Amino acid sequence: IILLQYTQMSVHFCEIVVNEANFVRKCISAESCQDDLWGKLVCTNFKVSFITHNSLPRQRFQCTHRLLGEHDIPLACVEQVVTVNDVKGKQKILGSNQKLKFNPTELILYCKDFRIIRFRFDEAGPESAKKVCLAIAHYSHPADPQLLFGFEYVGKRYHGSTGERMNGIDPGGGMQTTLFDCSSDWDREIKRTGASEWRVCTINQGYFISPSLPEFFVVPVSLADQDLKQYACFFYSQRIPLWCWNHSSGSALVRMSNISDPQQQRKVEQRISSAITKSHPLRSDVFKSDLDKNLPNIQDIQAALLKLRQICVIDPFEESEEKWLSSLESSRWMEYVRTFLRHAVEVVYMLESRNVPVILLEKEDRDLSCVISCLVQLMCDPHCRSLHGFQGLIQKEWVMAGHRFLDRCNHLKKNDKEESPVFLLFLDCVWQLWNQYPAAFEFTEVYLTVLGDSMWVPIFSTFLFNCPRQRAENSRFGVCKMFECFLKSLMFTKAWDWSQQFSLKDQTLFNNPLYVGKIATCVQNGTVKTFTHRRSKKNYSSTLRGLPSALRNGSLGPNDTLARRNSLVLRLRSDLSQVREQQETPSERFIRDFFSRPVDLQGLLLPQLLPSHLSVWKLYFLRWVPEAQIPQGGPITAFHKLSVLTDEIDMLQNQLRQYKGAGGTPNNLHAEHSKMYFKATSTPHQPPAPPEYLSSSFPFSPVGNLCRPGILGSPLSKFLNGAKIWLSTETLANETI
């Protein structure tokens, strides 16, 4: 046993090598072995690592992960371990504590982030090959949460000696992510949103009422603590209704679990609804939205992702383009993304247009309501579209609200029925919004992709536990068996401390150069202060959406067309538009009115929702496919040019400040303080050329991360270059948003 102890960034890394095999070949291509790498395959209690002295082509652009090397796979990311014996024609899926009766000649790892990694043992000793395969299968299926590596990994002390928070804070003392783990965080959120008729409730301190609720949450002023204690027993898991957010009109967004006692249902619902009504300035009645009836369940979402993975990275793409696209449609993943976005728009309509409070109803209020409540706030509140605001939103609506990350990520591989990529579906919904309004978000799609990957690095309490109580109980002790006495007082780190994973330079990939304005609301001395940067009121809506200016409510004007591949053009009949106009509902009118006005990137944002408006999140789902790469192409080329332009503007503004004697960063230090990953040169007349290594997969490398039959000559390239997912002509013509 070898103890590896890393001291980077003042963190302790108690990683133990469990087993290893020498003379292992990592397969780079399924069709040829000439590019394969030779090295040592190592299984630790944290990851599967391949150590080689050979180098891969096109690897210079890859971000350097501080916890994982370029050939490393976290054990929590391993979905399936498959061993193969070519000679005997045998194959076996390995689980924990299983036996292997044959000597493997090949190991295939199917990963949750859509990678497929293959290793060959042609020159390795048969016994060492078998042992390392069994070790990987065993350690990727821990039987207890405390066997997860997060309990061995101990990061920086979460609170300093003065009680000041350490994780997630900007080294320069800037803004930090709100964690909503204390009453003062909720107080600030109440003041920020103007929810004057709501208060912080402390009856769950010590998790006395419900283990899955946070210790502090917000309730109507008119509801007394004694009443809440009395009503708690009538709700599933004693989950009292939770306040999420307040619209500027005074309408509240509330989430609530179902009432388990039918005899008390009407009485309790009336009392809760009455209290919420009293909190509204106009005493508007409450609208209840039943998510269980209107949205797919967690099993449907899981089945859709499995089909999507099969289509994207496991099955070879079909020669027929239409068959591949129809397979993609039949997975229903894009349909579910659209369904959640559409439901969020309906809730926004009730808050924004009808001016009524909304209650999101879900049986246990721990899955679907997390998605909808966040999407509504992203559409309505520009603060949630900033980096720290978005992270605070996840803290509030997912982490502290009791989303079952441990079960839904299936870190323990115990119950496949509980596994569901609800959080990944949410990130896909956010990406769809980002893709339609990129200038409205402070962060990039690289940030969203990395955030999705962080679920499979189980060292952060953010994505490791099922509820606040479980998180609090396990966070009191970072138990490293060999140094237990020394480490008892240390605590888990949060995912928002990105310096644990990436350097400051790599973190600049999170900064969006398109972000045209920002609004920062904070509370100082009990007063709400807002700092706003506004642009001129020009009509940028058509350009930003990338759609015909006459496109309203998902339908085409008489002179507009939407081009389809092979010169096929779909045009919706004008008489159909007239029929829709006659049958238009108030919510459809609200949406049509929104799209008839110039977009305000710091105001309300509604997504276009026809199937042709939604795209596959290529950077996440197709990044490992070598044939899917577009060298020197894809969105990264625009990102490069915009980053250079933004950096050049910052550099010139800094020089102007220095000229005026108003301070500024010295020119030789500008590059270090730049917020852009790609920087301008000191001579603006000679802009830097795009680096040779740029491709549509940037900053991820598909080389060696997806080993299956190639897809050259397939219609995928057309799809990647902008082709949309289309339904049949009749389905599209009858479709409404």
Find out whether 297 is annotated in a ligand binding site.
yes
Asked if 513 contacts 444 with a C-beta cutoff of 8 angstroms, the reply is: no
H/E/C letters for each residue in 386-441?
Answer: CHHHHHHHHHHHHHCCCCCHHHHCCCCCCCHHHCCCHHHHHHHHHHHHHHHCHHHC
Query: 41 in helix, strand or coil?
Result: strand
Tell me if 298 is assigned to a ligand binding site. Answer: yes
| 98 domain residue, yes or no | yes
The CATH number for 87's domain is 2.30.29.30
Question: Crossing angle for the helix pair 422-436 and 368-380, nearest 10 degrees?
Answer: 20
Res 493: pLDDT: 82
Asked if residue 61 is part of any domain, the answer here is: yes
Give helix then strand counts, H and E, for the chain: 24, 20
Contact indicator for 373, 253 with CB cutoff of 8 Å:
yes
| pTM, 2 dp | 0.85
Longest dimension (CA), the chain: 79
Burial grade of 187 (CB within 10 A; 0-12, 13-18, 19 or more): middle
Looking at the structure of the chain, the number of domains it has is 1
Neighbours of 27 (CB within 10 A): 21
Specify if 466 maps to a domain.
no
DSSP per-residue string spanning 129-141: HHHHHHHHHHHTS
Give just the sign of the alpha carbon dihedral 561, 334, 369, 393: negative
339 C-beta neighbours (distance < 10 Å), count: 17
Per run of 10 residues, the mean pLDDT along the chain (length 737 residues) is: 36 76 89 84 95 67 80 94 91 89 94 94 94 95 84 52 41 70 96 96 95 96 95 94 96 96 90 96 95 97 95 68 77 97 97 97 97 98 97 98 96 88 98 97 97 92 93 65 46 87 93 74 54 39 37 39 40 48 82 94 95 93 86 89 91 86 64 82 66 86 71 46 46 47
Residue 91 in any domain: the answer is: yes
Q: What is the pLDDT of residue 674?
A: 82
Look at residue 35 and tell me if it is in a domain.
Answer: yes
- Which residues form the domain of 88? 17-152
8 Å CB contact between 372 and 359: no
Could you give phi then psi for residue 567, rounded to 5 degrees?
A: 65, 15
The sign one gets for the Cα dihedral 328, 329, 331, 334 is positive
In a domain, 80, yes or no: yes
User: Is 49 among the domain residues?
Assistant: yes
Question: Which among 186, 177, 181, 183 is positioned nearest to 244, based on CA atoms?
Answer: 186
Q: Is residue 587 part of a domain?
A: no
